[in-house]
Structures are given as structure tokens and as C-alpha cells.
A and B are shown apart, each in its own frame.
Chain A
């Protein structure tokens, strides 16, 4: 049984049942409108990168789906299916304290990655899943990178800021505050440089 559950920006997500268990099959389809060399390069690097980084993140202490199989001819990854809801969809239903709690946890998870010199690359609230036991999972590691510099970590935080201001504009201040607090508490004094880099990056692309 194969059920389409999401059409992502660069992939199609199916839920499949095997051995009496649900799995996610993530397939990076070909995009005929891209030049073929770019298309195949992206499909290949993103698939192998996601596969590797899901495991790297897990060893750093971040909850990520376990990978069971990867097919680099068809560009698919078979991984855990997380029974839960996208954090983005959950935000408006939460109490203030629940929301704060998840944001702190989000910040801590990103800090764990950064501690290991890993960036997520697309840390939006669409890429967080809250499971039935209220645990937070990070997904979608196709843009994730190792050996991250302060600049790359600053960009990661900038993207969080951007995601909150565009998608959760009415709650952005409290969400950002809690996320940054979770991040700083977990990262300690190293957080300062990265936070100031975030501000710097934010100013770069804008009119000032």
C-alpha cells in the first residue's frame, strides 16, 4: 500500500506499509524544467546528504527519523514514519506555555546540531513534527551541512527568524524569544557570536 501524503518543494512523500508497520518513502522526482545536469546533481547530492545527515543529527542527540534504505538510482529514502502533526499546523491550537515549551525544545535541538558543527539548512516550522507523546522531531535534512562555520549557523538562525515572522507573524516575538532562549541555554557562551551574526545577515539582504 502506497499513499501520497505530501508534495514537497523537491520531493514527493509517500506513506507505505510493510511488515505491519508504516514507513515514509521520500522520492526526489526529476524536474524536467531544470537543466538536466543540475537536476541530476541536486537529486543525487540531496538524497545522499539527507540520508547521512539524518543519522548524524541523531548521534548529536536530535530526534530524527531512522533511515532504513536508500536508492541512489531512483533517489528515494525509506525512513521512519512519525505519527504526528507539523508544528506549523499545531501552533494556533496550543496554550502559551505549550507553545513556549516546544519553541524552547526547537531551540535546543538546533543548538545540539550547531554544537556538532551541523546546520539544518531549512529550519521552518513545516519541518518540525510533534508526535502523539508531545516529542519534537526534526525532518527534511536535504539542505543540511557538516563542518558548519559561524556564518552558516548564523544563516540557520536567520532562517528561523524569517520562518517565524512570515508564518507566525502574530506570535513571532514570543516564539522567537523562546527559541533563542532554548538555543542560548543549550549552547552557552558560543551562542553570542552566532546570534550577532544572525542580526548581521538579516541586515544584508535588506534596505538599510
Chain B
């Protein structure tokens, strides 16, 4: 049987990735590199330079690992948005160039939707409530009426961003999430922090300010990390529970870069038991920003008959999760 092969390019923020996936759902390769600024946050221009510098070799590595040639690629998928403009444009340019050069179709993928669908591929979930947590996003999403609807999200900063900013304040490198998780295990004293849930939305800025204040008061860093994790993840658990109770769905999916956190996973596992729903945490290699999820979503869209002309393929930095018609689920 002939299989279709898709090359997916991801480059919405600080990571560039190339993944090769077949239409039977096998990930043949998934290569990526993340820009790690020596200090401060991500500068969009530097990140886009990172992508243009390393992109071609990452793509070559992906092909090599998959054991295929450029001519074996049936179509190209790319992350059209949402994300940082310069990064999106650099990635889209590579995708368009390859599409023209190889004379294969181009498919535009929504980055957030791709995080959900790669989780569904791995878990075989049909219709989950998804907790999507990363550096730039904290959303609780579920499918309804032809779209992935955002039932709840952060009203200010994303959880990953909150952890990174806090980490910088505490003198940690980027990304700070894994360091916070490690130190939190050594924390013993819980310090109360603002717990801010509004319906199915939440807010982290007040907690961040209060956590910085604990640091200035000389509270040991492990205790701060412990208190921050327990509070921040408790809030996520609550909005996930509200979404499950409201939608009555039977599956809970954890995806995005912060899905790598074991404590968050443990808490959401507890949520799933309480509501008697299935739970899956996306495996570490598919959790963060990478090309395999873009390729897989590209396959879903291609098989549903969707491709895009290069002349229509301008990037969409503000493309929201709920703005795309999910034709392959209709």
C-alpha cells in the first residue's frame, strides 16, 4: 500500500522543527532546535535568524533520520500561526520554497490545533478536553460545532511564560520550567500565593508578583518553586474540571511544552480519576514545539481535501484556536 509522506515545519517562536510523518500516523523523524538566549527573553528577530541559520540542516537531518529523499515528500505543511511574525515568515518562506522546488502541495496548519491533534494521534482519543500549556499558551479547549473552542484561558500571562519570568528573577537559565520542577521537590514549606480562577479562565500575574516578593523576603528558592507549582497547577486543575463538568466529555488530554512537568501530570491524573474520564499526557518528544505535529495535522487537512496556494499563504500571527474550521472532524 502506498503511503503519503508529509514534511512538517514548525517555527512559531523560539524553536524550529522539521518532522516527517506518514498518513498512517507513523512519525519517521522529528528534529528540532531551541534558541536559548544567554539572558533575557526571546527576541523575535534573533529567533527568526536562528530558524533561517539552522532550518536547512534540521530539515536535512529529519530526511536522513527518516531514510527518505526530498523526492519522497508528497506535500509540505507549515505552522502558519499563531506566533511571532518574523519567525512565522522565515518558516513559511522555507515551506513555500520547498513546495515550489519539489512541485508538491502546501498545507497551512494552526499551531495550537496541531498540539491537540498530535495528542489525539498518540492517545487515540476521539474527543477530549485538552489542557494546552506552553510558554505562550494556557488554554482549555474542546471540540464543538466544527471548531476547537477555547473554554478557558489565561487572562494575562501563560504558565510557561510565568515560570520563565520567575526563573529569571531567581537566577535560573532558560527555560526555567524544568529547574523549577526539580527544586520544587526539595521545597517543604508552603507559602500562600494568590489563587485566581475566574469561571474557566485564570490569571497568573498576581501570583508572579507575590512569588517575586517571597524571594525578596529571603524565602528559600525551593519553597518558592514548590508553592508556585502547587498553586499554578491547582488553578489549571480547577479550570480543567470546570470544562469537564460543563462539556461532559470523557477524555482529558495534556499537551504543550509544560506537559513535560510530572507534578502537573499527577494532578491532572487525579482530576481524571475524580471525574472518571480517560487521561493522557503527550510524551516528552511530542509535547513541545516540533515538526511532527505540524506534519500530522497537515495530513489530516490534506486528506480532507485542503491545500493552500502560495499566493494565499501569508502568515497569521494572531490566528486563534477557534478561528479554523476543523474540516477533518466534521
Contact = CB atoms under 8 A, between A and B. Distances in A.
A162 B156 contact: no
Contacts of A41: 192, 195
Most buried by B among A41, A121, A206: A206
B199 A122 contact: yes
Nearest to B136: A207
Given A32-B270, A34-B234, A169-B149, A207 B199 contact: no
Contacts of B241: 9-10
B234 A165 contact: no
A160 to B, nearest CB: 9
B103 interface: no
Given A169-B147, A204-B155, A162 B246 contact: no
Contacts of B237: 31, 33-34
A106 B148 CA distance: 26
B101 interface: no
A204 B319 CA distance: 14
B289 interface: no
Nearest to B140: A166
A66 interface: no
A165 B241 CA distance: 19
Most B CB contacts (10 A, CB to CB) among A10, A31, A155 go to A31
Q: Quick one: which of A42, A162, A207 has the most chain B CB within 10 A?
A: A207
Nearest to A88: B246
B242 A9 contact: yes
A31 B274 contact: yes
Contact of B245 (A9, A33, A170): A9
A38 B230 contact: yes
B283 to A, nearest CB: 21
Interface string B5-37: 000000000000000000000000000000000
Contacts of A7: 245, 275
Contacts of A35: 190, 230, 234
Interface in B99-158: 142, 144-145, 147, 149-156
B270 A9 contact: no
Interface residues of B, number: 44
Given A7-B275, A9-B238, A205-B154, A166 B149 contact: yes
B318 A207 contact: yes
Interface string B232-251: 00100110011011100000
B201 A162 contact: yes
A166 B317 contact: no
Interface string A182-201: 00000000000000000001
Contacts of A10: 238, 241
A140 B290 CA distance: 41
Q: Which of A34, A158, A166, A201 has the most CB of B within 10 A?
A: A166
Interface in A108-166: 121-124, 126, 143, 155, 158-159, 162-163, 165-166
Given A9-B245, A124-B200, A159-B200, 18 more contacts: A7-B245, A9-B238, A31-B237, A32-B270, A33-B271, A34-B230, A34-B234, A37-B190, A38-B234, A126-B245, A143-B197, A155-B201, A162-B151, A163-B199, A167-B144, A169-B144, A204-B155, A205-B156
Interface of B: 81-82, 142, 144-145, 147, 149-156, 190, 192, 195, 197-201, 230-231, 234, 237-238, 241-242, 244-246, 266-267, 269-271, 274-275, 317-320, 322
Interface of A: 7-10, 31-35, 37-38, 41-42, 121-124, 126, 143, 155, 158-159, 162-163, 165-167, 169-170, 201, 204-208
21 contacts: A10-B238, A33-B269, A33-B270, A34-B267, A38-B230, A38-B231, A38-B234, A122-B200, A124-B199, A143-B197, A155-B155, A159-B199, A162-B152, A162-B201, A165-B322, A166-B149, A169-B145, A201-B155, A205-B153, A207-B319, A207-B320
